[in-house]
Structure 1
Amino acid sequence: MMRSTPKTRLEAFSDGVIAIIITIMVLELRPPHGVEVADLLDVLPVWLRYALSFVYVGIYWVNHHALLDRVAKVDGAALWANLHLLFWMSLIPFVTAWAGEHPMAPVPGALYGAVLLLCSISFLLLSWRLKSEGAGQAMAWGSRKNRLSIVLYAVAIGVSLVYPPLGVAIHVVLALLWLMPERS
């Protein structure tokens, strides 16, 4: 049986993985082939999807730190729950590149939404695991905001298969929702 480990190991590993995720995403960006302002339109969907994904990774990074601020040690189950989150987050560069290259295609948009949904669920599982380690009710991931997010991510997957622009709109609204501070 694994003993408790200082949270600093989990934090450092997670920070490193998240930094790599952002690095991979930015390395996927390509400049326009031409030199005119109009040439930017060709790469705009990829850049916009990158910006959205960067915001999502940032939201997870900030909330991850807020969650871990409330615990001193983690156990093996928490390490695995964290790896589960990092696995889904590590797929963000792939779905970002695919959905950016094909912004109005149903399957890339739906897969992008599926990865976001699985990131949200895995963060919820991690926060539940850390609840017993001292995180308590401090994180709002079990809140109405999180439940609404999970439902809307699932809706966005289905909507993306029928009308991709609406799926993207739902993803943008959800990012904005998480950027808004909680009311006390």
Structure 2
Amino acid sequence: MNKTRVEAFTDAVLAIILTIMILEFKTPESFELSAILDQIPYLISYAIGYLFIGVAWYNHHYMFSQTRWITQNVYWANNIWMFTTSFIPVATAWVGRGLNEQGPEIFYFIVFLLWSVAYFYLSNRLIRANEKDHQPKAAEAIRSMVIYRYMSNWKLVSIQVIVSVLVLKFMPALQMVIVTLMIIFIGARFNADSDKLFH
């Protein structure tokens, strides 16, 4: 399958998702600068969502740059991943209206969890596609990504889920802090060669 078409389709979907997220930002009725303060919770949620998708796109680009050809399994895994990603604007908007409310935060956690499973599955399919294509270096490059290694460690993932459940029960807003830390310290720790793939 043509890799370029799949990448272009993915880029378009992610661009639409980001556009939907900013369109959820409500312009204040008042012209007083203080009127924007009501939108601070959504701006926080939006910033986290934007960072989330930006880091995910970079990792996705890296994995696909390492891969020569796309199998049907990779194509469908990519679609599942994009499907879970498409729920981020809904979760972002709801959390923005209730930053410390259990319902929105639990929904965000569910979206994040499903997204993580879909991302891990996509990564795994890409590793297998590269192994089948006799590209062990590409497969190992994807396998060595910090985010993949973290998701492969069921003990660490289990601890994160337990901590998130406790946080959601007693201090829901802290869930967004956990997501942000995950994005920065796990998702955004890119492989050393990630900015040299085309040099």
Structure 1 pair 89–151 and aligned structure 2 pair: CA distance change class (3 A): farther
Aligned equivalent of 2:94, options 98, 101, 104: 98
Secondary structure of the 1:34 match is coil
Alignment CA distance shift 1:14-1:150 (3 Å): farther
Q: Distance in 2 between matches of 1:70 and 1:183?
A: 13
Choose the corresponding residue for 1:167, options 162, 165, 175.
175
Give the partner amino acid of 2:40.
Answer: L
> Aligned partner of 2:149: which letter?
S
The structural deviation recorded for 1:65 is: 0.4
Identify which of 175, 182, 188 aligns with 1:179. 188
Give 1:57's aligned amino acid: I
- Alpha-carbon distance in structure 2 between the residues aligned to 1:102 and 1:91: 17
Residues 110 and 158, structure 1, Cα contact 8 Å, conserved in 2 = no
Q: Secondary structure at the match of 2:129?
A: helix
3-state SS of paired residue (2:41): helix
- 1:138 is matched with which residue? 141
- Residue 35 (structure 1) shift: 2.3
Aligned to 2:7: 11
- Native 8 Å contact 1:6 1:72 kept in 2: no
SS of residue in 1 equivalent to 2:148: coil
Percent identity for Structure 1 against Structure 2:
32
Runs (5+) with no aligned partner, structure 2: 131-137, 194-199
Give CA-to-partner distance per residue, 1:103-159, whole Å, 9 cap, x none. 111010111121112111111111111112224021224313764467525632452
C-alpha distance in structure 1 between counterparts of 2:158 and 2:117, whole Å: 7
- What secondary structure does 2:50 align onto? helix
1:48/1:62 CA distance change after superposition, 3 Å: same
Question: What residue ranges of structure 1 are gaps of 5+ in the alignment?
Answer: none
In the alignment, the residues of structure 2 paired with residue 84 and residue 145 of structure 1 have an alpha-carbon distance, to the nearest angstrom, of 17
Indicate the RMSD between aligned Cα atoms, in angstroms.
2.2
Report which stretch shifted further, 50-59 or 129-138: 129-138
Deviates more, 1:87-96 or 1:30-39: 30-39
Cα distance in 1 for partners of 2:99, 2:180 equals 14
Query: How many matched pairs?
Result: 180
Q: TM-score normalised to the size of structure 2?
A: 0.82
* C-alpha deviation, 1:46, in angstroms: 0.5
- TM-score, normalised to structure 1, is 0.88
* Counterpart secondary structure, 2:66: coil
Which consecutive segments of 4 or more residues in structure 1 shift more than 6 A?
none
1:127 is matched with 123
| Match runs of 1:58-97 below 5 Å | 58-97=54-93
Q: Distance in 2 between matches of 1:149 and 1:64?
A: 21
CA offset at residue 31 of structure 1?
2.0
Give the partner amino acid of 1:142: Y
Change (3 A) 1:154 1:65: farther
When structure 1 is superposed on structure 2, of 77-86 and 139-148 the one drifting more is 139-148
In the alignment, what sits opposite 2:46?
Answer: 50
